């Protein structure tokens, strides 16, 4: 089965901001085209399309000047490829007649994802983040046993800001990948990072809070071999610390 995309995705974000936090609802609508035929078959390719959609709800609240929490959840169909952790938009689904393959068609794959993180400033110079996220798809009955089923990710860090534009910190990360046949593999990793901000605005401002909303405090690379991460509209395996 091969993708045959003809139209761009339509995405709509709806933010609601308040003094102590915000809520944002996002949606995606897409047409997922495909070409399908059985492996090693001389039959012509079967062409078609499925409607993909997704709904994402996220919230971030500032409990005090030194505490901030955020969570995000999403549900989608034929949109897992937009996620960080992997997955597939469409997958082959088979129908059998007395244990013999009678028909093969493309099926939109459902997905569920959740992310939650907590940020805490210990002082004007020290801060930490800790959190967990997962993404899980509902595999079809004809997918390969090694096809992606679930990805989990957790991390915690300790960051130090010795100057206005300098950040030093370490982060401990854990990830686990589960495939269609319930086999899983995990990985543990420690990362040390140093960042200098060449922008106009400093990383820290009054009370040590972040004054530049575009400041990316700690970016994690891919966890290998168990997990694959990339940025997307729905979830972020790349951690971004956003402060006022």
Q: Confirm if 107 and 93 have CB atoms less than 8 A apart.
A: yes
pLDDT at 152: 94
Reply yes or no on whether the pLDDT at 93 is more than 80.
yes
Distance CA 114, CA 134 (A): 6
> Per-residue confidence at 3, pLDDT binned at 50, 70, 90?
low
- The CATH number assigned to the domain with range 2-208 reads 2.40.160.10
> Model-level pTM?
0.70
Q: Confirm if 211 and 201 have CB atoms less than 8 A apart.
A: yes
Summarize pLDDT for 38-50 with one digit per residue, the tens: 566 666 777 788 8
Q: Which residues of 9-19 are buried (b: 16+ CB within 10 A; e: fewer)?
A: eeeeeeeeeee
Reply yes or no on whether the pLDDT at 220 is more than 70.
no
- Mean pLDDT, the chain, whole residue set: 77
Q: In the chain, what are the domain boundaries? A: 2-208
Average pLDDT estimate for 102-111: 83
């Amino acid at each position: 089965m091969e993708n045959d995309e003809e139209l761009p995705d339509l995405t709509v974000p709806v933010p609601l901001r308040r003094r102590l936090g915000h809520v944002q609802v996002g949606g995606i609508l897409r047409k997922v085209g495909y070409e399908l035929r059985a492996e090693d078959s001389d039959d012509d390719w079967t062409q078609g399309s499925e409607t993909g959609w997704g709904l994402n709800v996220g919230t971030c609240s500032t409990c005090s000047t030194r505490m901030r929490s955020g969570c995000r959840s999403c549900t989608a169909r034929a949109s897992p490829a937009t996620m960080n952790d992997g997955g597939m938009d469409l997958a082959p689904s088979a129908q059998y007649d007395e244990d013999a393959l009678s028909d093969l068609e493309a099926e939109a794959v459902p997905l569920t994802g959740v992310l939650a993180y907590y940020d805490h400033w210990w002082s004007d110079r020290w801060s930490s983040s800790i959190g967990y996220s997962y993404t899980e798809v509902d595999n079809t009955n004809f997918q390969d046993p090694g096809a992606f089923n679930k990805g989990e990710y957790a991390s915690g860090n300790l960051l130090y800001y010795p100057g206005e534009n300098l950040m030093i910190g370490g982060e401990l990360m854990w990830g686990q990948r589960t495939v269609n046949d319930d086999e899983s593999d995990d990985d543990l990793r420690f990362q040390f990072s140093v960042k200098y901000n060449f922008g106009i605005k400093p990383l820290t401002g009054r009370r040590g809070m972040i004054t530049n909303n575009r400041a990316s405090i700690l970016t994690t690379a891919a966890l290998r071999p168990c997990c694959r991460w990339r940025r997307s509209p729905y979830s972020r395996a790349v951690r971004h610390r956003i402060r006022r």
